[in-house]
Amino acid sequence: MSQGDLELFLAARDEKPFHARQVLQWIYQRDVSDFDEMTDLSKSLRARLKEDATITPPEVQSRHDGEDGCVKWLFSSGFGQAVETVFIPEADRGTLCISSQVGCALDCSFCATGAQGFNRNLTSAEIIGQVRHAIRELPRRENGEPAISNVVFMGMGEPLANYRSIVPVLDLLVSDYSYGLSRRRVTVSTSGIVPHIDKLSKDCNVALAVSLHAPNDELRDSIVPINKLHPISTLLDACWRYAADHSNRFITFEYVMLRGVNDSLEHANQLATLLKGKPAKVNLIPFNPFSGTEFLRSSAETIRHFQERLRKRGLVATTRKTRGDDIDAACGQLAGKVSDRVKTRLGRKKVGQKLHENKDIRMSSI
């Protein structure tokens, strides 16, 4: 529950709404999971909460530590399936990449999560539980700051297709009574569910990343199918509205580099024309291959040339470093554990298992 929801919950029980702040602080700042330990609440309120509410941490299936400091957790999501959460430490920040759905219905052709199909939405509790668990396990930085400074919805699933669950989570991430993260350090990544971009703009002032991946509709239709519903011009209009609503803060456009598909200099020119003069920055993502995919990663040289062309044409452009390769934690590789009973685009075999069997196809970071 967000602070607002918790206040309503308390009011409906004839309790003072301000107790919501105390409860949030106990859960998220003092990591308490037992109402009896919330000693500044009256005994009767504690008893009431125990009767009507639960604080249930997600069930951890496994933890994997990478050589580069990345950590991946697998959380059970029922029926033999799991979702993944990844921590990526860097010199100046620590980013937690969280999942919002078990699988994804949007079926982007280069994505391991899309290949497993859609199973179900995660609840708000299952999503914020990923953050709470990671904070509990990660030591503070050397300078005493918390390990996690940034949270990105770039794990499994399409967050804007699970809108009702993510809004309370965003609230908890930024609220002073829970994690108090800066709004600029919480990023929702979407493949472009336009009506919900507009909704998000009204409901939560957080950073927005958009998975563009192609500079024209013909190509984007073929690799990001939601484009057929919300084509590029409609999507970009929503992006500029979002930016305008938030003091023209930059929107990040993610662009996965697929060899021979979307990585030519002509594509870079088209992309520059689309974004020139707008509050936009481009983040090139080297494609992370997984077994069964027909795509290949663009060469390091192609990616460099593409980035240079964007910069020459006046755009801010960076290339994402691939991290967590040794623990299958790289972007787009989060497939979780797929039950044999689930029909997937890659056939009936477990996607997670296939990834594991094909470690040799993974390339080192550029």
Footprint of ligand SAH (CB under 6 A): 108, 110-112, 153-154, 158, 189-191, 211, 254, 256, 285, 287-288, 331-332
Structural Rg of the chain based on CA atoms: 21
Of 235, 241, 230, 152, the residue nearest 188 (C-alpha):
152
Return the one option of ligand SAH, ligand SF4, none that residue 107 interacts with (CB less than 5 to 8 A, by type): ligand SF4
Return the one option of ligand SAH, ligand SF4, none that residue 306 interacts with (CB less than 5 to 8 A, by type): none
Q: Which two tokens stand for residue 8?
A: 């309503």
> Count of CB atoms within 10 A of residue 176's CB?
11
Give least dist CB 223 to ligand SF4, A: 9
Residue 84 appears among annotated catalytic residues: yes
Q: Which is nearer to ligand SAH, 1 or 235 (by Cβ)?
A: 235
Residue with tokens 């400091």: 69
Please, which residues have CB within 8 angstroms of residue 109's CB and are 6 or more apart in sequence? 222, 223, 225, 295
Please, which residues have CB within 8 angstroms of residue 330's CB and are 6 or more apart in sequence? 288, 322, 323, 324, 362
Residues binding ligand SF4 (CB under 6 A): 104, 106-108, 111, 113-114, 157-158, 191, 211
Residue with tokens 């998000």: 200
Give least dist CB 330 to ligand SF4, A: 13
Residue with tokens 């003069």: 277
Residue 204 appears among annotated catalytic residues: no
Q: Which is nearer to ligand SAH, 32 or 274 (by Cβ)?
A: 274
Q: Which two tokens stand for residue 80?
A: 């033999």
Q: Which is nearer to ligand SF4, 124 or 211 (by Cβ)?
A: 211
Of 167, 124, 170, 132, the residue nearest 148 (C-alpha):
132
Give least dist CB 323 to ligand SAH, A: 12
Q: Which is nearer to ligand SF4, 26 or 110 (by Cβ)?
A: 110
Question: Considering 70, 108, 239, 331, which one is annotated as catalytic?
Answer: 331
Tell me which amino acid residue 12 is.
Answer: A
Question: Considering 15, 84, 158, 254, which one is annotated as catalytic?
Answer: 84
Return the one option of ligand SAH, ligand SF4, none that residue 58 interacts with (CB less than 5 to 8 A, by type): none
Q: Which is nearer to ligand SF4, 24 or 355 (by Cβ)?
A: 355
Write out the catalytic residue numbers.
Answer: 84, 331
